[in-house]
């Protein structure tokens, strides 16, 4: 247990779990700590948003694993993050994979705690760590994040016959434009000149039979599918 000064008030912690038995076990374990003040609720959007409204609550611990499907639901996490971006969020998981880790942090989580892999006593340390603004993740989860940020997003553009319409570089330009980046920002992301990006866009417009960035974004939404892409800095592929 971390040592806190006598003057330090307990952290306000919201604990949300749809599994009543597990919620009671978590509460029983955490209430032994005098450095935490617990509020509990069901894992529903309405109850969480209502329970999270007091500013005195500092950290939310959410067991997002669906009790029937077993698959984590991150929608509630996103809603809570929009309502209380200042509140640090920890997700309790039974398992994790690359996509889940990346989407969990994108949803606003600062920590992922797997009860099957970490001793329960570490959860208190995790709570204090995320409250300080630190990231709580193991080496594999951090590696998943690094792999994601080292990739340039790409959209695979194909016609009705499945024929690829654009080169990998052109697909990357489309993906970045669809994300709202300007020509200058696309150029910086891909290590190209702004003039080269404009040439790519003219070529893409010609291939797809469109004439504006708005049409390109709409085309990408309706015809593009996400795909992994290697980072291609510079070059003219």
Q: Tell me: do 96 and 208 sit in the same domain.
A: no
Is 1 a domain residue?
Answer: no
Q: Tell me: do 133 and 32 sit in the same domain.
A: yes
Q: Tell me: do 30 and 109 sit in the same domain.
A: yes
Whole-number pLDDT of residue 67: 59
Whole-number pLDDT of residue 153: 60
pLDDT digits (tens, 9 = 90+) for 95-135: 888 888 988 998 899 999 998 888 988 999 999 999 999 99
Q: Please, which residues have CB within 8 angstroms of residue 16's CB and are 6 or more apart in sequence?
A: 40, 41, 42, 43, 47, 48, 51, 60, 61, 62, 63, 76
Q: Tell me: do 141 and 211 sit in the same domain.
A: no
Confidence band of 19 (pLDDT split at 50, 70, 90): confident
Whole-number pLDDT of residue 7: 57
**Is 4's pLDDT higher than 60?**
no
Q: Tell me: do 44 and 143 sit in the same domain.
A: yes
pLDDT digits (tens, 9 = 90+) for 201-215: 999 999 988 888 888
Whole-number pLDDT of residue 5: 43
Q: Please, which residues have CB within 8 angstroms of residue 115's CB and are 6 or more apart in sequence?
A: 92, 93, 94
Average pLDDT of the residues of the chain: 83
Is 43 a domain residue?
Answer: yes
Is 22 a domain residue?
Answer: yes
**Is 175's pLDDT higher than 70?**
yes
Domains in the chain, number: 2
189/166 Cα distance (integer angstroms): 19
Is 92 a domain residue?
Answer: yes
Is 16 a domain residue?
Answer: yes
Sign of CA dihedral 136, 124, 61, 37: negative
Q: Tell me: do 105 and 205 sit in the same domain.
A: no
Q: 66-70, 78-82, 107-111, 189-193: lowest mean pLDDT where?
A: 66-70
191: phi > 0 → left, psi -120 to 50 → alpha, else beta; which?
left
Whole-number pLDDT of residue 235: 55
Region 139-153: what's the mean pLDDT?
A: 78
Range of the domain at 121: 11-147
Q: Tell me: do 24 and 136 sit in the same domain.
A: yes
Q: Please give the model's pTM, rounded to 2 decimal places.
A: 0.64
Burial 192-229 (b: 16+ CB within 10 A, else e): beeebbeebbeebbeebeeeeeeebbebbeebbeeeeb
The residue among 111, 126, 54, 119 whose CA lies nearest residue 77 is 111
Q: Tell me: do 143 and 164 sit in the same domain.
A: no
Q: Please, which residues have CB within 8 angstroms of residue 226's CB and are 6 or more apart in sequence?
A: 153, 154, 155, 156, 175
Is 41 a domain residue?
Answer: yes
Would you tell me the crossing angle of helices 20-30 and 122-131 to the nearest 10 degrees? 80
Q: Tell me: do 188 and 80 sit in the same domain.
A: no
Residue of 102 and 236 predicted with greater confidence: 102
Whole-number pLDDT of residue 1: 37
User: Domain holding 187: CATH number?
Assistant: 1.10.10.10
């Amino acid at each position: 247990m971390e040592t806190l000064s006598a003057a330090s008030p307990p952290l306000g912690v919201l604990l949300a779990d749809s599994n009543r038995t597990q919620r009671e076990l978590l509460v029983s374990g955490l209430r032994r700590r005098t450095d935490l003040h617990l509020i509990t609720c069901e894992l529903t959007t309405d109850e969480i948003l209502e329970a999270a409204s007091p500013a005195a609550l500092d950290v939310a611990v959410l067991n997002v694993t669906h009790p029937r499907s077993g698959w984590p639901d991150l929608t509630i996490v996103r809603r809570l993050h929009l309502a209380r971006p200042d509140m640090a969020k920890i997700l309790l998981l039974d398992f994790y994979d690359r996509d889940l880790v990346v989407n969990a942090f994108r949803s606003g989580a600062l920590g992922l705690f797997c009860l099957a892999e970490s001793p329960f006593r570490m959860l208190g340390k995790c709570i204090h760590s995320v409250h300080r603004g630190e990231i709580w993740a193991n080496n594999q989860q951090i590696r998943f994040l690094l792999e994601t940020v080292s990739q340039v997003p790409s959209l695979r553009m194909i016609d009705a016959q499945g024929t690829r319409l654009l080169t990998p570089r052109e697909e990357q330009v489309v993906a970045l434009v669809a994300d709202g980046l300007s020509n200058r920002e696309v150029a910086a992301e891909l290590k190209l000149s702004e003039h080269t990006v404009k040439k790519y866009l003219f070529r893409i417009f010609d291939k797809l039979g469109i004439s504006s960035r708005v049409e390109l974004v709409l085309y990408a939404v309706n015809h593009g599918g996400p795909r992994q892409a290697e980072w291609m800095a510079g070059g003219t592929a």
